[in-house]
Every structure is written in C-alpha cells, then in structure tokens.
Structure 1
C-alpha cells in the first residue's frame, strides 16, 4: 500500500484551510482602521463649532465712517448767491470828513436788518447836485451781518481847478433804482467840485487807502 499518498491528501487539505484563515485575519485587520477613521469623521461633523456665528447684516446698512465722510453739516454757511443784496432802507449811514487824505470823507454803512451782501458796484452819491463818479475798484460782494459795517471813501474835491460848491450833506443810495437818503457831513460843511466814490470795504482803513 502507498502510505505516503494517503498522508499527503490530508496535509494538503490542512494547508489550504490555514491559508484561508490567514487571509480572513488580514482582511479584518485592514478593515478596522477604515472603520475607526469613518467613525472619527462622523463625530467631527456632528460636533458643534466653538466659534461664534457672524451677525447678519441688515439690508441697506451703511458704515458710520462712510456717513461721516460723505455727509454735509446742516450748519454750513449759505452760498453767496443765496444772500440777498443790501438795500438802502436796511442800512444806516454816516459821513465823516477825514484829515488824510485831504478833501476826502468816509462813508459808513451799518446793517440794521438781516444778513445781506454789499453790491460790488459803487454806491450812488450826490453832493451839491453833482453825482459822484464811480472809481472802483471792482471786487467781491461780501456778506454784511446784522450790526456790522462797510466803508467807502468819497473824494469831495479832486483839486482839478473847478469852482467848488459848499455842501453840508450827501445823498446816498445803494443802487440807482432806490430812493436815496440824505446824510449830514460830520465835521462841518465841505467844498465839493467833482466828487468820486469807491466801492465798500470791510474796514475804514482799507477804504481810505484805496
């Protein structure tokens, strides 16, 4: 009898069984980490975030900085064109002779009404029936607030050799279309030939230096 052949068959069967068991064990080991990784991923997704959620932005909201930089203050001064022109009636006038320059007088116009702008054209001045020539200079039309004054110089006697007329007052109007007012010359009467008048200035010194 062939004893070796009989023993070989059972040994072959046992070897195959051992290999099968070894393969199963390896599969189980490789599957374990994958399962652990999947479980960790699921736990991380389910855990709540510790960072605070951003607050929702309301529609149309504007940053304060942008508003401040682009806004306009309600206290801004009015544009010059919105200030009405001064009228003769809302001003009070004085006329004073001055020592220097010789033969000149200083007109002071004080605003007794609301803020107005002084017209850049020279005032209409008449002395002894003669209308003063306008000598400028042309400039802006400054705003004259209530209680403040503007000043103009009137040259009564230019010294051109003409026969003078003695006067004690001037008639003054801000524009030719208004009724003039009569203003007494302070410091006594004056000799007038061909008078000249400047525009109004912000100070008496500026008017006399013009």
Structure 2
C-alpha cells in the first residue's frame, strides 16, 4: 500500500484523535467532569485498538473502532447541545459531573484572556457566593471552547468513520483473494491445487 493510502490516512486520523482526546481528558479532569472523563478514557482505549487494527491489518479492531465512532459522534452532539442550551438541556446542570460535584468546565474560570474584575458595589463583596463578587471578561466564553472541542472530535470521528469503512472493505477483499496456500486467487481463473 502506498503512503497516501486509506490505511495510512486512518492511522494518521487515529493519532490525531489520540492527541485531541488526551488534551480533552486533561481539561475534563481539571473541571471534575466525571461523565466526559469516563467516556474520554474509553474513547482513548478504542482509538488505540483501532490504530492497532489498522497497523496490523486486523479488521475486527477496525470494525470496533468504526462502531465506536458512531457512539462518539452522538456523545459530542449531546455535549454540543448541552453547552448551547438546546433541546431542554442546560450548561448549568450537573449532568457532566454526574451530580457528584458542583464543578463545571475548567474553561469557565481559566479561558483565554479571562480576567476577573471586582464589582464596583461593596455590598456584593460580602456575599458568600464568590461568583457574585467577580465578573469574568474573556475573549471566548467557556461554552464555545467546549463546543470547539466537540466540533474537532466530530470532524475527526466522521473522517475516521469514512476511512475505517474503506479500510474494512479493503481488508476483507484482501482476505477473500488469498487462498492460504501461498497464491492469490483470481476470480477469472479457476483455482488449481498442487498436490
């Protein structure tokens, strides 16, 4: 196979997915978002298995990767809808932290260009809730950063799905054309057994 084959492209996509999934996992750990942590961990394992399947010509692993990509696309669409407050979902709910902690996205307080500014009124500073005493001014709000993560995962997943489908069909064609005696079977020629 050439260096620009579908198999090499799938290997490259799996490597990109690993890098982006590990990056996303780190920031989900910092925000104590337990549902994404568990699914990111499982995603990393399946992508490694898909990478192994592509490198070692194992179609079963690539099929497992292919099926996981469908679920991963669904998860990322759900998270995008959650952060956009679509379909009755709310970014302020504790769905992603599984109700175990009050933490939210790490990007909410630590986004690019975020600076906290005290409110001018001194009455607000005596409140027990620190969110009422500071106002965050950010270049990009946290929900849009999370949505950009989801869009990146969606694009890589959809491309991975397409290339995985092609790789699985090419693997099955190669398996069908090999007769395990040491020669390739051509459908136009009858197979001859040498005894």
TM-score interval for Structure 1 and Structure 2 normalised by the shorter chain: under 0.3
Richer in strand (by share): 1
Instruction: With the length of structure 2 as denominator, give the TM-score of the two structures.
Output: 0.21
**In terms of Rg, which structure is larger?**
1
Richer in helix (by share): 2
Between 1 and 2, higher relative CO (CA 8 Å, sep ≥ 6) is seen in 2
Instruction: With the length of structure 1 as denominator, give the TM-score of the two structures.
Output: 0.19
